[in-house]
Amino acid sequence: MSAGLLVAVLLASALLEGSGWAGGVGDGNLRLSVTVNGRADSDVRPPEVRVGAWVVKRYRLLNVSEADLHRVRVLDPGAPAGSVRCPAVLPAAEEAECTARFRAVAGRHVHPVRAEGDVPALRTRLTATARAGYAGVAGALGLTEEVVVATPGTGGGGASATVTYTVTNRGNLPLYTVRVEDPGLALAPGAPDCGGQGGTVAVLAPDTSAFCRTTVRLRPGTYRSAGRASGSDRATTLGTGGERVTAPLLTAGASAVFVVREAPVAPVPRTPAPGAPAAGASAGAAGASAGAGAVPAPGAPGALARTDTGTGTGTGTDAAGRPAAPAAPGAGAAPGAVPPSSVSPGAVPPAPPPGLRRAAGVDDEGFLGRVRRRGREAAEFGVATTLLLLLIPAAVAAALLGSRRK
């Protein structure tokens, strides 16, 4: 072979190897395209996928070289680690598909994707890149509530409870016609006041909240509030095969248990009978009568000692024949007489004995009065006779015991 022919063969081989044609291996021999939920232009129009729904990415790899590719893999920052599945070998002049399936998260996720395959015999790695991704969208409805029970007033009848419902949009799309209800308290439709809109929030922007309130009057007892909120973001998204998915009805719930206590009962004033003294006056009069008019019995604690102005003494014998003790000075004083010396200054003089008061009123009573008085005196005489019959034997026995000891 001449030198010129040899040079021509070497130049042709170099050109063929650089282009990857007819057994050549080089850049451009591996090609990549990506579809996301059926959309091929996701790099410029990322499909909207509802947060939490499935995202399906398909990576189409084409090997235009004449060498088999080993350890084929796809590196995609927009897919969770380990979610991409590829065949182990991509034969020469053939194509294969890698897939990834995962749940969508909120936000725009468009990233460069890189595919790789090795040619071990040549110690060469073929690569290809593309851009792809999706946009995770959704309005996310949240609800909390708080109950404040007013202090019950007097007179019974329960108390009022004010319930505040807080609706929040935690998503990245506006929510429309958010309605608040409470089946637990059996509220009428539109009962909560949401800013004068009758239980409905017209538009709730992302990352904002609105308040709805209602006040109900309840009887004493334990209650459970069960708030419910519903609304829609009105967004149409794409399914895994590219089909259109209508917006669902978004709901949220909250509950609270609270107690309405029994109201204290107001005291009812007692109205005295016509002509009867008031209770306080009666009690004061009774106390004054007990302190001023009652005369304690001799020897009782706090009793006034009875004396008179005479100085005579006398002796006698008791039932046993012994001389009796001399009588105390003043023993002959009239009943009920209290010398000034025995009453402390400022004290009220004792009232006369009941017997004297009765005797003073005998002349003024009529025939029926005398009959009633005689009946009372007979009853008092019977009680006195019974006491004497009980006390006389006891006194005799005490005297006999005393004489024996002497």
- Identify whether residues 21 and 93 lie together within a single domain: yes
> Does 72 map to a domain?
yes
Residue 203 tokens, joined: 């538009």
**Do the domain assignments include residue 277?**
no
Do 185 and 222 lie in a common domain? yes
In a domain, 233, yes or no: yes
Query: Residue 236 is which amino acid?
Result: T
Q: Each residue of 150-160: pLDDT tens digit?
A: 987 655 567 89
Domain shared by 86 and 157, yes or no? no
Q: Quick check: is 366 in a domain? A: no
Residues of the chain below pLDDT 70: 1-24, 153-157, 265-269, 271-371, 373-387, 404-406
CA 290 to chain CA mean position, Å: 57
Residue 131 shares a structural domain with residue 145: no
Same domain, 75 and 163: no
Q: Residue 211 falls within a domain, yes or no?
A: yes
Which residues are 70's β-sheet partners? 89, 118
Q: Which residue in this structure is represented by tokens 């929040």?
A: 168
**Domain final residue pick, 93, 112, 135:** 135
pLDDT of residue 210: 96
Of the residues 260, 280, 296, the one at which a domain ends: 260
- pLDDT score recorded for residue 154: 57
Distance from C-alpha of 307 to C-alpha of 292, rounded to nearest angstrom: 19
pLDDT recorded at residue 396 = 80
Number of domains forming the structure of the chain: 2
pTM of the model: 0.56
CB of 244 within 8 A of CB of 218?
no
Distance CA 266, CA 154 (A): 6
**Domain CATH number, residue 222:** 2.60.40
One domain, residues 125 and 147? no
Residues 113 and 189 in one domain: no
Structure token pair of residue 173: 């799309």
Instruction: Based on the fold, state whether residues 126 and 170 are members of the same structural domain.
Output: no
Number of residues written out for the chain: 406
d(CA 46, CA 377) in angstroms, rounded, equals 118
CB atoms closer than 10 angstroms to residue 246: 9
- Give domain status of residue 355, yes or no: no
Q: What does the alpha-carbon distance between residue 99 and residue 72 come to, in Å, rounded to a whole number?
A: 12
In a domain, 381, yes or no: no
- Does one domain contain both 92 and 199? no
Domain that holds residue 164: 141-260
Residue type present at position 317? T
State the CB neighbour count (10 A cutoff) for residue 384.
Answer: 10
Domain termination site, one of 237, 260, 283: 260
Q: From 208, 167, 161, select the one nearest 187 (Cα to Cα).
A: 161
Specify the CATH number for the domain of residue 88.
Answer: 2.60.40.10
How crowded is residue 60: how many other Cβ atoms within 10 Å of its Cβ?
16
333 domain-assigned: no
CB atoms within 10 A of CB 102: 15
Answer yes or no: do 145 and 128 share one domain.
Answer: no
20 and 131 in a single domain? The answer is yes
pLDDT at residue 368, as a whole number = 63
pLDDT of residue 236: 97
Is the CB of residue 159 less than 8 Å from the CB of residue 149? yes
Measured distance CA(256)–CA(144) in Å, rounded? 9
Bridge partners of residue 222, in order along the sequence:
259
Residues 102 and 35 in one domain: yes
